[in-house]
Amino acid sequence: MPEDRIMHVGEKLMVDIIDIDVGRSIILLHELDAARMSIHMGDRATICRRGRVCGNVAIVNTSDTMVSKGEVGIYNDLAVKMKLSPRSYVYITPREKPPTVGYIRKKIEGEELTEAEITAIVKDIVNDNLSDIELTSFVTATAIHGFTKSETVALTWAMVNTGTRLKFEGTVVDKHCVGGVPGNRTTMLIVPILASLGIKIPKTSSRAITSPSGTADTMEVLAPVSYGASDVKRIVNKIGGCIVWGGAVNLAPADDKIIHIEYPLSIDAEGQVLASIMSKKKSVGSDYVLVDIPYGKGSKMPTLEKAQELGEKFVWLGGEIDMKVKAIYTDGTQPVGNGIGPVLEAIDVLNALSGDGPKDLVDKSVMMVGEILEFSGNAPKGAGLKEAKECLDSGDALKTMRRIIAMQCGNAKITAKDLKPGKYKIVVKEESGGSVKSIDNKLIARIARTAGAPQDHAAGVFVNKKVGEKVGAGEELFTIYAENKAKLQYAEYLLKEGKAIVVG
């Protein structure tokens, strides 16, 4: 009988259910019980129910106070999965670490991993077979040593093949921005424009990692974004497009677990970024993908040369996984739009769709739609931009966005005037006057995050003036919004670190 199906083997312990969901298989042993079984903190153990076969593997934590000797603490989500009741009995058996721990050690030492080793690691990530320490070690090692080309391709396919895959009839297009520019909510204009033109764009977006808002955070102001694969197919087949959070669709689920580790460390390994983005595009059945790579001071790519190097990698990886990819290079030296933070960005989007939005946001969005139309063969060369503008100006894109909002269970009648930023604010004004010379993207983003964005949807920064615009003495440069006074005060401290907007 295979090891994971042996019955009635191991230490018999009484179940103590801990009424907390931890999102993975974790058990708690008394330190004396763990020592008797030669189990240490972070080791694995197999859990068997009485009269049932084995098969549930959990990470072990130990304590001499939270659980009694002779008992095993089972967190609520695992207890529900195993259909355990309090004071029932289970059998706990030590289990060896999986081979993937050795593969992670190889990566820590800077060695290249094989396709099989990367696939095994990704499967263990998805199945929660790695402890937090082991997963963090893998993420850190990849950030330090990077990925080779073969590792990047292997990681991409492994992410695709361990998650849900969608398939639609006809051509499917998509877009992605590598980020680093505050605001920049082009997706929320691009999707309704393309869907209005009869082109499928099942847009799965991320939440913020290091920014004041991700597209999913901003869309959530207008409608729920947590939908499964069947709902995404239903919405897209009905309207042509959607804007949902990728984490709920189970597309490349390993990626979301890796991002969870990257977030507090504020790291983005290039190979991981490439695999993350491209695996999700492949998973939704994209045939054509436009990648927006902003560059310049204050963005992720400091120079055009660096941006082009990254763009070539996207195009190359697209070819490796049978997708056509085009990279464009845009100004990343200042925010796009005026609002930074979920509610403020949603206001920009609704205004733009209604014909009264920030010019830079509108211009960039229709330019990108034009590129997608021509790149995917849906418009003759040179005609895409005109078609995109006409769709936006006619109001068709707004109507389609309202249909998307309704299909995602939001209020289809919502307007920009219905959205209110945080009630606490600080208005930063210009002292002497002149014209705006530069905007510090990183400082503006830090201010918005410190004010509470994106967790506090109404927090953020509204930028009144952009580079090149004239500003008089006493005129408003930007406004900081928060939902509580304490966070607003924290954000105000950052104003002493430097000039968020330089006027000269």
Q: Is 281 exposed, middle or buried (0-12, 13-18, 19+ CB in 10 A)?
A: buried
What is the pLDDT, as a whole number, of residue 248?
86
Cα 494 to Cα 444: distance, rounded to the nearest angstrom = 9
Cα 148 to Cα 23: distance, rounded to the nearest angstrom = 32
What is the pLDDT, as a whole number, of residue 1?
39
CATH dotted code for 173-252+262-407: 3.40.1030.10
Kindly list the catalytic residues: 268
Q: Compute and round to an integer the Cα radius of gyration of the chain.
A: 25
Name 49's bridge partners.
90
Cα 501 to Cα 298: distance, rounded to the nearest angstrom = 12
Cα 472 to Cα 289: distance, rounded to the nearest angstrom = 43
Give, for 428, the enclosing helix (H) or strand (E): strand 424-429
What is the pLDDT, as a whole number, of residue 208?
87
Fold adopted by 100-145: 1.20.970
pTM (two decimals): 0.87
Name 92's bridge partners.
11, 47
pLDDT in tens, the chain (504 residues): 344 444 456 899 999 999 999 888 899 999 999 999 999 998 999 998 865 556 688 899 999 999 999 999 999 989 998 889 999 999 999 988 899 999 999 999 999 999 999 999 999 999 888 888 899 999 999 999 999 999 999 999 999 999 999 999 999 999 999 988 999 999 999 999 999 999 999 999 988 878 999 999 999 999 999 999 999 999 999 999 999 998 889 888 898 888 778 877 777 788 888 999 999 999 999 999 999 999 999 899 999 999 999 999 999 999 999 999 999 999 999 999 999 999 999 999 999 999 999 999 999 999 999 999 999 999 999 999 999 999 999 999 999 999 999 999 999 999 999 999 999 999 999 999 999 999 999 999 999 999 999 999 999 999 999 999 999 999 999 999 999 999 999 999 999 888 999 999
Cα 277 to Cα 270: distance, rounded to the nearest angstrom = 11
Homologous superfamily, domain 421-503: Pyrimidine nucleoside phosphorylase-like, C-terminal domain (3.90.1170.30)
What is the pLDDT, as a whole number, of residue 57?
86
- Here the tokens at position 295 are 């560059």
What is the pLDDT, as a whole number, of residue 270?
86
Cα 186 to Cα 202: distance, rounded to the nearest angstrom = 15
Instruction: Please enumerate in sequence order all residues whose Cβ is within 8 A of that of 242, keeping only pairs 6 or more positions apart, or say none.
Output: 191, 202, 203, 227, 232, 235, 236, 404, 407, 408
Cα 74 to Cα 19: distance, rounded to the nearest angstrom = 9
Q: What is the DSSP letter of 418?
A: G
Q: Report domain extents, the chain.
A: 3-95, 100-145, 173-252+262-407, 421-503
Nearest to 479 by CA among 419, 440, 427, 424: 427
User: Residue 336 in 3-state DSSP?
Assistant: strand
What is the pLDDT, as a whole number, of residue 2?
46
Specify whether the CB–CB gap between 47 and 58 falls below 8 A: yes
User: Residue 472 in 3-state DSSP?
Assistant: coil
Cα 77 to Cα 24: distance, rounded to the nearest angstrom = 8
The correct answer on CATH 1.10.3720.10 for the domain covering 3-95 is no
What is the pLDDT, as a whole number, of residue 122?
97
Q: Is 184 exposed, middle or buried (0-12, 13-18, 19+ CB in 10 A)?
A: buried
